[in-house]
């Protein structure tokens, strides 16, 4: 041990230091002594400890060396550990941005390869084709949300309020921001917009417990109004300072209000294209509405920002980790505050004691939303109101933006495949952004998704790819209905395979009813698919009498219906025989598995009879 002390002292002198050893030097000596398995009381005497003669463990030396270190060393170590823990807990990405040279991450676009919306609209949007870099001092989704909620830096302007009464007696506040308002104009003759105005109108649907005064809504409204368009914020029932005037409240799937507002604006300002933008729960409502309406909606284009998509998945996610439970609690406080504003109505329609004791969004939905909305259970409410079930029927150009680090609406709920299968939908996902945050720039004065939506709607409006005027669609897709019990008919081939068969479509039925002269031809076309014994699909020629041919002469000709009936009987017999073969094969497998020797003997004796049942590889073995 004395040798180690002398070596360390000599090294300090060679480095230009005095002969005294620092606490760090003593710590290094102790570590080396422990590695060598040394024990020595002389080191304590050298350190001035006054330890008596005897064997002392090296662990004691380490404790002594550690006790001689200044307090600030431990403070620095503890702070570093806290920084590392908080960096992971709050999902900071500053170091990652630093390694990438603060260039940001590219926007990932998911779409149908045949999509004309991408080829002619999104491909021209520089924002969506570029990168997103979060504000450096907001390089965390949680900081983004905190900054948006507490400050947000919204632009300063004043809305024009219009109270709109819906058919069930409810009242909605429509807050307008006209292009002339941000340009210094004034209202003419007390009217908001002239009926002949062709300026596009953008409807904004806020998120849960949010209204037109929310910072992110103001960012979007101001951005679009600066382009020269008119914006109207459709506040949810009971929000925006308006009382509840009916027994109906809004929820995550309440589409009646947006439907009536869209129809009202389309009828009143028929010359103006109508666009819609939904945020958070408002995005879920908007996409669900677009899926319910299909081709009937007069909306020319839309955007969905940070939608929850699947409420069941989001409900599980928001109770998974500590930080998610914090958001769950914060949302619950907002919902309870909303219920408190309308306590007289809530007390009559819902379980007020349960609302007061609610500690999660699920609790609130159980005691309030399900009772008011007549849902059997909370999960039933979540399933029926999730917009993911309606994505397939969206018929208007729709831009969907979601952040993969959204701490409220998880990326697990994003319907990647459904969006890719719909040629009208463009899904834009970013690595960072948080929930409705997306602040960018040194001063965090700009919101990236607001710029992206503004550019998308502008490019869409300038081209021929907007959704057309309102048109009737006779049969809408209902996501809660199953297509399994609605045919299609089966096509049984000779080898027993079952495949899908095209049935007569509604368009063909309508065409046959409207075309009186072609009744016979339409009937032949409707049965044009004939199932033969070999499984081939034949298209028979149209049945008609040749000149001079009598009906009796034509009676011997098989009609498509007769051929189909005969073929179907043949196919059913083949299916029955195939089922019998399958049963014999299962019996043989059971015997072989239980008694291998018996199975081999049966195979040898009945080889010829089992020729048509067993596979060739089994018979050969």
147 and 17, same structural domain? no
406 and 348, same structural domain? no
Give 541 or 261, the one with higher predicted confidence: 261
List the beta strands (DSSP E) in 24-170. Answer: 105-106, 108-110, 131-132, 160-165
On whether residue 490 sits in a domain, the answer given is no
Decide: helix, strand or coil at residue 489: strand
Nearest to 280 by CA among 321, 331, 241: 331
Nearest to 451 by CA among 126, 82, 172, 178: 126
Q: Are 349 and 238 in contact (CB under 8 A)?
A: no
Each residue's pLDDT tens digit, 176-213:
999 999 986 554 545 568 889 999 999 999 999 999 99
600 and 553, same structural domain? no
Active site residue 406: yes
Give 394 or 565, the one with higher predicted confidence: 394
89 and 39, same structural domain? no
For residue 514, pLDDT beyond 90: no
On whether residue 527 sits in a domain, the answer given is yes
For residue 448, pLDDT beyond 60: yes
Number of domains, the chain: 6
231 and 148, same structural domain? yes
265 and 172, same structural domain? yes
On whether residue 421 sits in a domain, the answer given is yes
For residue 333, pLDDT beyond 90: yes
Q: Are 395 and 294 in contact (CB under 8 A)?
A: yes
On whether residue 488 sits in a domain, the answer given is no
Q: Are 581 and 612 in contact (CB under 8 A)?
A: yes
pLDDT category, 532, cuts 50, 70, 90?
A: very low
The active-site residue out of 406, 432, 454, 567 is 406
Nearest to 303 by CA among 461, 193, 155: 461
Give 282 or 502, the one with higher predicted confidence: 282
The active-site residue out of 139, 435, 454, 567 is 435
For residue 382, pLDDT beyond 90: yes
Let me know the angle formed at the C-alpha of 590 by 588 and 592, rounded to the nearest 5 degrees: 70
407 and 376, same structural domain? no
393 and 380, same structural domain? no
pLDDT category, 17, cuts 50, 70, 90?
A: low
Per-residue pLDDT, 497: 41
165 and 78, same structural domain? no
On whether residue 337 sits in a domain, the answer given is yes
On whether residue 36 sits in a domain, the answer given is yes
pLDDT category, 477, cuts 50, 70, 90?
A: very low
548 and 407, same structural domain? no
Per-residue pLDDT, 606: 60
Q: Are 452 and 223 in contact (CB under 8 A)?
A: no
Per-residue pLDDT, 386: 98
Each residue's pLDDT tens digit, 83-131:
999 999 999 999 999 999 999 999 999 999 999 999 999 999 999 999 9
pTM of the predicted structure, to 2 decimals: 0.70
Most confident range, picked from 140-149, 506-515, 559-568: 140-149
Question: Tokens 């990647």 label which residue?
Answer: 416
Look up the domain containing 222 and give its range.
106-309+388-462
129 and 88, same structural domain? no
Active site residue 214: no
List the beta strands (DSSP E) in 364-444. Answer: 398-403, 425-430, 439-440
The active-site residue out of 280, 358, 387, 402 is 280
Each residue's pLDDT tens digit, 596-609:
665 566 666 666 65
354 and 210, same structural domain? no
């Amino acid at each position: 041990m004395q040798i180690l002390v002398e070596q360390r002292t000599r090294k300090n002198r060679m480095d230009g230091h005095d002969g005294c050893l620092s606490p760090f030097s003593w710590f290094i000596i102790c570590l080396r002594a422990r590695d060598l398995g040394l024990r020595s009381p002389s080191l304590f005497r050298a350190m001035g400890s006054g330890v008596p003669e005897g064997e002392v463990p090296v662990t004691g030396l380490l404790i002594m060396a550690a006790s001689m270190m200044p307090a600030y060393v431990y403070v620095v170590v503890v702070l570093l550990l806290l920084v590392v823990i908080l960096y992971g807990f709050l999902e900071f990405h500053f170091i990652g941005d630093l390694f990438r040279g603060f260039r940001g991450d590219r926007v990932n676009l998911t779409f149908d390869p045949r999509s004309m919306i991408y080829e002619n609209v999104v491909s021209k949007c520089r924002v969506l084709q570029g990168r997103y870099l979060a504000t450096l001092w907001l390089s965390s989704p949680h900081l983004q949300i905190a900054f948006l909620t507490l400050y947000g830096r919204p632009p300063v302007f004043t809305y024009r309020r219009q109270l709109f009464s819906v058919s069930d007696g409810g009242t909605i506040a429509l807050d307008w921001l006209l292009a002339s308002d941000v340009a210094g104009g004034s209202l003419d003759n007390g009217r908001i917009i002239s009926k002949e105005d062709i300026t596009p109108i953008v409807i904004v649907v806020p998120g849960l417990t949010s209204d037109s005064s929310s910072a992110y809504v103001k960012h979007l409204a101001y951005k679009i109004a600066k382009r020269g368009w008119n914006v109207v914020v459709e506040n949810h029932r009971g929000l925006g300072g308006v009382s509840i005037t009916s027994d109906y409240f809004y929820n995550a799937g309440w589409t009646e209000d947006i439907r009536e507002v869209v129809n009202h604006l389309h009828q009143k300002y028929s010359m103006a294209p109508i666009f819609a933008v939904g945020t958070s729960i408002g995005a879920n409502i908007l996409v669900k509405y677009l899926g319910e309406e299909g081709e009937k909606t007069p909306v020319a284009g839309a955007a969905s920002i940070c939608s929850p998509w699947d409420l069941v998945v989001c409900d599980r996610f928001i109770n998974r980790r500590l930080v998610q439970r914090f958001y769950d609690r914060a949302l619950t406080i907002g919902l309870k505050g909303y219920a408190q504003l309308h306590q007289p109505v809530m007390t009559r329609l819902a379980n007020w004691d349960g609302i007061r004791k609610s500690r999660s969004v699920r609790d609130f939905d159980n005691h309030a939303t399900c009772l008011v909305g007549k849902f059997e259970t909370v999960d039933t409410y979540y399933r029926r109101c999730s917009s993911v079930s309606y994505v397939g029927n969206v018929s208007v150009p729709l831009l969907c933006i979601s952040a993969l680090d959204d701490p409220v609406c998880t990326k697990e709920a994003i319907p990647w495949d459904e969006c890719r299968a719909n040629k009208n939908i463009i899904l834009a996902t970013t690595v960072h952004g948080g929930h409705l945050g997306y602040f960018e720039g040194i001063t965090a004065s700009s919101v990236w998704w607001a710029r992206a939506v503004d550019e998308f709607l502008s490019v869409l409006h300038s081209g021929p790819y907007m959704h057309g005027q309102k048109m009737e669609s006779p049969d809408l897709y209902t996501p809660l209905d199953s297509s399994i019990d609605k045919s299609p008919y089966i096509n049984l081939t000779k080898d027993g395979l079952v495949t899908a068969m095209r049935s007569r479509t509604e368009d063909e039925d309508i065409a046959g009813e409207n075309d009186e002269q072609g009744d016979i031809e339409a009937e032949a076309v409707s049965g044009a698919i004939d199932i033969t014994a070999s499984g081939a699909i034949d298209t028979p020629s149209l049945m008609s009498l040749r000149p001079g041919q009598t009906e009796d002469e034509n009676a011997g000709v098989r009609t498509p219906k007769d051929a189909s009936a005969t073929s179907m009987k043949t196919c059913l017999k083949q299916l029955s025989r195939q089922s019998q073969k399958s049963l014999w094969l299962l019996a043989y497998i059971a015997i072989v598995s239980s008694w291998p020797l018996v199975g081999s003997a049966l195979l040898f004796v009945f080889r010829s009879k089992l020729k048509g049942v067993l596979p060739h590889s089994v018979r050969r073995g």
